[in-house]
Chains A and B, each alone.
Chain A
Amino acid sequence: MVMWIAVTVVKLLIYFAILMLFVAYGTLAERKVAGHIQDRLGPYHCGPHGVLQPLADGLKLFFKEDIVASEADKFLYFLAPALAVVPPLLVLGIIPIGESITIAGKTIPLPIANINVAVLYFLGVTSLSVYAIMLGGWSGNSKYPLLGGLRSAAQFISYELVLGLSIIGVVMLVGSFNLVDIVKYQKDMWLFIKQPVAFVAYMVAAIAELNRAPFDLPEAESELVGGYHTEYSSMKFALFFLGEYANMVVSSAIATALFLGGWYAPCSFLSFIPGPVWFLLKTFALFFFMLWIRWTYPRLRYDQLMGMCWKYLIPITLFNILGTGLVVILKAGGV
């Protein structure tokens, strides 16, 4: 028991370190990718090619003065950024980075918590993000954050539906909520080949849930100044951003497990590379994809955004469920 808890804590620390590294260099990657897409260099002065930039940014944000707007609700104002980092860290526990590892003759399973309702857990926990955004927008006693928070909440819950409905197709094929089972199912063929519609719907919903361009209406700079974190400064502002990037990382990781074959190598002759490396590579590829989208497409209008969700994605995902059902049954019937 003591041994087991020690192993769990060590695993937690390693996963946490990987996530924080991913997040820190995600911010740098964002600026570098943005720079190169726009034919600039991006951050260049802190260390060679700017590799120390995340460190410099972090230190700077620690030493910045924190401005709490007058008439702000002090407790909620403090609570919102602290809550913003909770959902992605909770999802971290179910990410199946690999199946198991053998150290000194003992087999240790790699996921921190191999729970059998992992998909439901993921959906439930990510939907908590909306509280941080809503509270952050409301507590500042200012108009821009309030409107940004409201928009964000409406957008978030709409796309939450698409996210949930898109995963149902995968669950139908696999017959399990357990992410390890779902990855094992993809040993021969990745699920995005069998569920292309679900994959596209998942990615669109994930990007929209994260309030990232082209769906970044809640923080549309040109009309809402800074959105729900207009009134936030210093470390509180940093925590919102940390939460956002951590959310991007865990959404990419879950998409990797659900659709991109998790820890399996794309071709059998590449399987000498260990599974966790593949998992991280695929996660980074999806992360890069999100950055790429952001710096390539212009922002949608709000009515287009909500219309796309309610008028296109929800019917499409519903028909995807029916179509998947029909195919599964015809195959089982031997037709």
Chain B
Amino acid sequence: MYQHISPYIPVFILFVIALAFGTVTLLVAWLVRPNAPYDEKLSPYECGINPLMPGKVNVPIRFFVIILLFLLFDVEAVFMYPWAVMYEKLGWWGFIEMFLFIVILLVGYIYAWAKGALEWE
């Protein structure tokens, strides 16, 4: 029954509800809560002393390397999903293809490891 209606309509309704939930909760809280700010209360947290440096500090370049590695492996994972669904029909050729793909990937992975991209000092 109701096969002709897209199953994504409930997802859309859910999305609206999800966005509304957070926003409405925050608005209700905004209506009922007290508000008595002063300068010391509003200063960024720094263990009780006045903030020493600007809040936006430089971040280590290591994080960027992780993002690059993620991009690489995630694209590969995306390639694997359709392969996994069709796997039983693909048979031996499907296995060999994916085996070669993973071997090529592992070469890159070992290279990244040897270059120290996975180390975290």
Residues of A within 8 A of B (CB): 1, 4-5, 8-9, 11-12, 16, 61-71, 78, 81-86, 89-90, 92-93, 106-107, 112-115, 119-121, 140-144, 146-147, 150, 153-154, 157-158, 160-161, 164-165, 168, 171-172, 175-177, 225, 230-231, 234-236, 239, 302-303, 306-307, 310-311, 314-315, 318, 321-322, 325-326, 328-329, 332
Contact = CB atoms under 8 A, between A and B. Distances in A.
A142 B37 CA distance: 18
> Considering the complex of A and B, which 10 residue pairs feature the smallest CB-CB distances, nearest first?
A82-B22, A235-B29, A142-B44, A303-B120, A89-B18, A141-B55, A171-B84, A113-B10, A70-B42, A86-B18
28 contacts: A4-B5, A8-B10, A62-B29, A63-B33, A65-B33, A66-B30, A69-B43, A82-B23, A85-B18, A86-B22, A113-B11, A141-B55, A143-B46, A143-B53, A143-B55, A154-B63, A157-B66, A168-B81, A172-B87, A175-B85, A175-B87, A177-B81, A234-B29, A235-B25, A235-B28, A322-B98, A325-B94, A332-B91
Interface residues of B, number: 72
B95 to A, nearest CB: 5
B106 to A, nearest CB: 7
A70 B18 contact: no
B42 A68 contact: yes
Contacts, number: 209
A83 B15 CA distance: 11
Interface of B: 1-2, 5, 7-11, 13-15, 17-19, 21-23, 25-26, 28-30, 32-37, 39, 41-47, 51, 53, 55-57, 59, 63, 66-67, 69-70, 73-74, 77, 80-81, 84-88, 91-92, 94-95, 98-99, 102, 105-106, 109, 113, 118-121
B66 A140 contact: no
Nearest to A61: B29
B107 to A, nearest CB: 13
Contacts of A306: 66, 118, 120
B10 A112 contact: yes
B25 to A, nearest CB: 6
